[in-house]
Chains A and B, each alone.
Chain A
Amino acid sequence: MQKIKSFLLKNGPLLATVAIFILVYAIGAQLYPTMKKPQVFFNLFINNGSLLIISIGMTMTVIMGGIDLSVGAMIALTSVASAALLQKNADPVFVMVLMLLMGTALGFVMGCIIHYLKVEAFVVTLMGQFFARGMAYVINESSITIKNEFYNYLALTKINLPFFEKAYVYIPTLAGIVLLIFTFILLSSTRFGRTVYAIGNNEQSALLMGLPVARTKLIVYSFSGFCSALAGIVFSISLLSGYGGYGQSMEMDAIASVVIGGTALTGGTGTVLGTLFGVLINGIIVSILQFNGTLTSWWTRIGVGALTLIFIGIQSLFYVKKKD
């Protein structure tokens, strides 16, 4: 009994997230029978591929007690920059590597400013956001189409899934899933992962324990930059274009997914697995709105905002109990 109680307290927010996801999906399936098709479920991964990737990076940052508001703008910058380079007939693989390097470098610079100059993370990353979006518009004011064979191939090749009939995902969809598994292992069973949690709980004591705080922080912000660049690549593949207005307020969707996934914004607790379900909940709300057809897009925003608030409430409930 005690074990069950402690298990519930430990994994409460995560379980609540999974339960809500199943509940919302069940309601949706009752209302719209077509939602029972497996492809609708896999569409969640296809449509939210880039959101999942930035949310993974965001999860790590938030667990460490930081935040990264620049991810949405980074998607825009990556998409425009890669589209502009591809227009000049650059090698697609080279472009991708360059974009990942750029994202990592920007994340690293922000991490340096946050850590060494002791400026608050959200101010620095807000600046990063405006910088990235501004640069995206400097590269090109309007939308650029990508006409590259390799990008087309990535965008249009379906991978049929083994156990489901007529169910498929696209190649870029796999990127998020691979990254999810990688990050899950990294956070749960490596020394680096434990350090991230330790810093999130108390940076001062992590430092006094002799943990490499500076290195870990820089790696985490660089990783977040890497994730947002990867998300930008996935985004530009799925739309086959680049534009400075892409990914508007996507950072908020990512933060909402992270919070709905049971990660506390105060840092120190949370899992990427929860974030996956957070992203799926986000996606299912949008799907239901699309199936409905009459509800309009602003209800998504209001709905996501309300859900975030509810989950912050649930979290504070659980953590208060934990302390007792």
Chain B
Amino acid sequence: MKNNISPFTKFRQSRIFWPLVALLLIFIFDGIYAPGFFKLGILDGHLYGNLIDVINNGAPLVLVAIGMTMVIATGGVDLSVGAVIAISAAMGAVLINPAFGNELISNDILTQNVSRTPLGLIVLANLAAGTACGLWNGFLVSRAKIQPMVATLILMVAGRGIAQLITNGQIMTIYYTPYFFFGNGYILGLPVAVYIVLAVLGLAWLLVRKTSIGLFVESVGINAESTYYSGISEKNVKLLAYTFCGFCSAIAGLILSSYVHSADANNIGLNYELDGILSVVIGGTLMAGGRFSLLASVIGALVIRTFTITMYTVGIPANALLAAKAVLVLIVILLYSEQAHKIINAVFERKGRSKDAKN
């Protein structure tokens, strides 16, 4: 090769460049307006501080973003992630609950530090519930041929109802300490959630980059019909993507419920579908499907999480944040939209030759 591309140019053209720039901008903002943001300390033998908070609290979102990337890459979308998180969390809480729903339970039975089922089984049940939800979505999209948005919307609404059904309509508090390990535990000073995320990311990366599944996913996203004619079962690729997304949401539900020590079917994982889509969009994956980058989506999720925590640090109320986030997504979508590029180009060209511009 004659024209050697310098490593920097290569980096600049890669997908993770712009998300990283966004992250850097937020950090610079933090450095100026919230000086304590970068402070790291050691408490009880593990690290703490805002940055650790970002990765610890952000872990569920990162997981959702990984799953969502796969789904969006096939040209679909999964609006049910929040509901799947609720189902998974409810499943865990119910299995731990030392009494059955129809029994008379007194406070001291409920608050005992025991579990009715072994921990391994609980985790397995959590994951199985979420994966089953993903499988259901995938089935509706790939076999029943319902548009992804509608198919997942059904679970988005019914899902929280199902979660309430599982918990019998109650907000279940968890008192079983080993369960807290996933959300609050630390290994070598770093939160356990980080290791879980790394494991899932590694698994996903191996799956899409070391086998041909990643290529299949991209080709389905670009043109499902031609993928079908080239002998790839686009149905199964879609099914896999949605199931994987359900699996990721289930782990997110496990971490979240373990982090807040409870399962509230109505509120746990609220708005995660928006944040998930937002992360993927910031990561540069098009909503129409096609090329995707897992790492960029992960950085996208971290951008959102940092943005959120920064806003809290600066003192903006949580609810107003919704509006701010909506505007942020819109700007990002517009920046990536080809149509916007065309319009901007047209405006600049018109300025250049304003003499013969007619309208």
Contact = CB atoms under 8 A, between A and B. Distances in A.
Contact of A116 (B161, B326, B339): B339
A306 interface: yes
A117 to B, nearest CB: 5
A265 interface: yes
Given A131-B327, A302-B161, A304-B157, A126 B274 contact: yes
A268 to B, nearest CB: 14
A265 B326 contact: no
A306 B322 CA distance: 30
B322 A117 contact: no
Given A134-B320, A134-B326, A137-B319, A265 B156 contact: no
B156 A127 contact: no
Given A118-B339, A123-B333, A255 B320 contact: no
B162 interface: yes
B147 A266 contact: yes
Given A123-B277, A126-B274, A134 B324 contact: yes
Interface residues of A, number: 45
Nearest to B320: A138
A98 B145 CA distance: 43
A130 B271 contact: yes
A301 B324 contact: no
Contacts of B288: 120
A122 B273 CA distance: 12
Contact of A305 (B154, B321, B326, B330): B154
B157 A312 contact: no
Interface residues of B, number: 44
Nearest to A122: B149
A312 B153 CA distance: 13
Contacts of B154: 305, 308-309
Classify the secondary structure of B's interface with A: helix
Contacts of B160: 298, 301
A67 B157 contact: no
Nearest to A266: B147
B145 to A, nearest CB: 7
Contact of B158 (A113, A130, A302, A316): A302
A286 to B, nearest CB: 13
Contact of B319 (A134, A265, A312): A134
B161 to A, nearest CB: 3
A228 to B, nearest CB: 16
Interface of A: 67, 113, 116-120, 122-124, 126-131, 133-135, 137-138, 141, 244, 249, 252, 255-256, 259, 265-266, 296-302, 304-306, 308-309, 312-313, 316
26 contacts: A117-B334, A118-B337, A122-B77, A123-B287, A124-B330, A126-B277, A127-B330, A130-B274, A130-B325, A131-B322, A131-B323, A135-B323, A137-B319, A138-B319, A255-B153, A296-B164, A296-B169, A297-B169, A298-B162, A300-B161, A301-B161, A304-B157, A308-B154, A309-B154, A316-B144, A316-B145
